[in-house]
Amino acid sequence: MTPNDDLPLRGAALAGIPAGIRATGPWTGRRQLFIRFAGVAETATMYTAEALRGELARLAQRSVYHSISISGGDPLAEATFLASALEGERSLAVMLDHNGQRPEALDAILGSLALVQVTLTGAEEDAQVARAMATLRRAADKHVAHALVLALEADTSDGRLLRIVEQTNSASADTSVVLHPAAESLSSRDRRWLVWLERAAALHGDVRILARLPEPTGMR
């Protein structure tokens, strides 16, 4: 038995299953149920895979949602748990929003996903970007829709962002790339992002710039 073989039985720590509006990526603005894995300092509730399946089914029957989002913490550290929880038929599509740092663990749940979303800040080291690209390639190889989200948290250079877009195109030309600039950099008088988008579009066929919804209206 490997250390993760009993995950469906012992469960995983979740920060909750709240409803919210997707804040980032190609599904921005969609109403979702969020499976949020707990971070180190967050209050958590333990769910077995069976309990999570049942709770998702119950919530989906009580209201109308576009999809389910898996996010928070390090969700692919619980890949075996998720694979068990996502077994069977569901009425809602499922997306994974993560940092793309565990490409080898993605295979366990790829068959249950409608969208693999890799979210970066633009400040990652080269090795981290390389692992994110490997994640996008894995999704592309299995014909699962995939997106790269650049949710900027610092003043990353335009050249750095363009290099990431170029790497993304090499990983998979089918990737949907969405850049969410820092709010303070958005101005009707600033042509920075108009110029950047023109350059990015020359490198990759599907690039867009969107304002990021504020939390808690938009949850990740």
What is the pLDDT, as a whole number, of residue 103? Answer: 98
Q: Are 91 and 58 in contact (CB under 8 A)?
A: no
Residue-wise pLDDT for 157-188, tens only, equals 999 999 999 999 999 999 999 999 988 787 76
**Domain ranges within the chain, ordered by starting residue:** 7-219
pLDDT band with cut points at 50, 70 and 90 for residue 5: very low
DSSP letters of 153-185? -S---HHHHHHHHHHHHHH-TT-EEEEE--GGG
Residue 122 backbone dihedrals phi, psi, to 5 degrees? 95, -10
DSSP letters of the chain? --TTTTHHHH-EEEEE--EEEE-SSTTTT-EEEEEEE--TTS--EEE-HHHHHHHHHHHHHHS--SEEEEESS-GGGGHHHHHHHT-S--SSEEEEEE-S--GGGGGGTGGG-SEEEEEE-S---HHHHHHHHHHHHHHHHTT-EEEEEEE--S---HHHHHHHHHHHHHH-TT-EEEEE--GGG--TT--HHHHHHHHHHTT-S-EEE-PPPPTTTEE-
Residue-wise pLDDT for 72-116, tens only, equals 889 999 999 999 999 987 789 999 999 999 999 999 999 999 999
CATH number, domain 7-219, options 3.30.230.10, 3.30.70.141, 3.40.50.1820, 3.20.20.70? 3.20.20.70
